[in-house]
Amino acid sequence: MAYGSRMSLARSLVGAPLRELRARIIGGHPVDPRALEGWAYRGTSLGLAVVERLTWKTFQKTFHRDVRSGRLMGWNVRLHQDGLDAPSRPIVEHGRPRCVWHYEVIEPRGVAFPRGFDRGLIIDYGRATNPRFDPINWVKDPLVALQPGNMDELLGVSYSVVAGLCIETPTYFTLVREQRIDFVPEVL
């Protein structure tokens, strides 16, 4: 099935106002971490053109259970920017997909988060192997299901924690289950 045809609810959020996206995060549904294990999700950045120019419009987020530690880890895969409905085509360097911004996926306990951002899971970039002084280490992404019990379409947003203060950003994104992970980078 083509990627674009599977995007019903997630696709409808492209171009949605920020207040609607924020309301969906706050009213979102829990995410079962076990349902994410082993999957790559197609990500679509929602509406912040400046950020998209610096990063990407489409990307992949992965979810991999590390057998040694038991932690649910992940990374972003850079994609060729072929359009919203085009199949995912990873950028390849040295024969491997370009993987950036690693993270750990955690429950929303013991970490600072904006009020109401506790419905699902938290993608925490500061708990993974990223360059020490990379600002991504201050970023966290709450992740919620768009429909109860459905782990095929998710919504996330980024916020930063600086000096104990949560700073919300307008960088929302959708994730749509795409395929089983077929590559795990050496460094998590």
Q: What is the pLDDT of residues 23-61, one digit of tens each?
A: 999 999 999 999 999 999 999 999 665 555 666 789 999
pLDDT of 81 > 60? The answer is yes
Q: Determine contact, residues 166/113, Cβ cutoff 8 Å.
A: yes
Whether residue 158 is contained in a domain is answered as no
Whether residue 130 is contained in a domain is answered as yes
pLDDT of 19 > 70? The answer is yes
5-9 average pLDDT score = 57
Q: What Rg value do the Cα atoms of the chain yield, rounded?
A: 15
Whether residue 27 is contained in a domain is answered as yes
Other C-beta atoms lying within 10 Å of the C-beta of residue 143:
27
- The per-residue pLDDT for 80 is 94
- The per-residue pLDDT for 9 is 78
Burial 34-71 (b: 16+ CB within 10 A, else e): eebeebbbbbbbbbbeebbeeebbbbbbbbbeeeeeee
Number of domains in the chain: 1
- The per-residue pLDDT for 3 is 45
Q: How many CA atoms lie within 13 A of 36 on its CB side?
A: 31
Residue with tokens 């994410």: 36
Find the Cα–Cα–Cα–Cα dihedral 91, 144, 122, 37, rounded to 10°. -60
The dihedrals phi and psi of 155, each to the nearest 5 degrees, come to -130, 140
> What's the whole-model pTM score?
0.89
Q: Determine contact, residues 171/53, Cβ cutoff 8 Å.
A: no
Range of the domain at 36: 3-153+174-180
What CA–CA distance (Å, rounded) separates 184 from 188? 9
Between 186 and 120, the more confident residue is 120
- The per-residue pLDDT for 76 is 96
133-153 average pLDDT score = 94
Sheet strands (E) in 33-118: 39-46, 58-65, 72-78, 92-93, 96-97, 99-106
Q: Tens digit of pLDDT for each residue in 120-142?
A: 999 999 999 888 888 899 999 99
Whether residue 187 is contained in a domain is answered as no
Whether residue 149 is contained in a domain is answered as yes
- The per-residue pLDDT for 83 is 84
Whether residue 169 is contained in a domain is answered as no
Query: What is the separation of C-alpha 49 from the centre of its chain, rounded to a whole number of angstroms?
Result: 18
Whether residue 161 is contained in a domain is answered as no
98-105 average pLDDT score = 95
Whether residue 165 is contained in a domain is answered as no
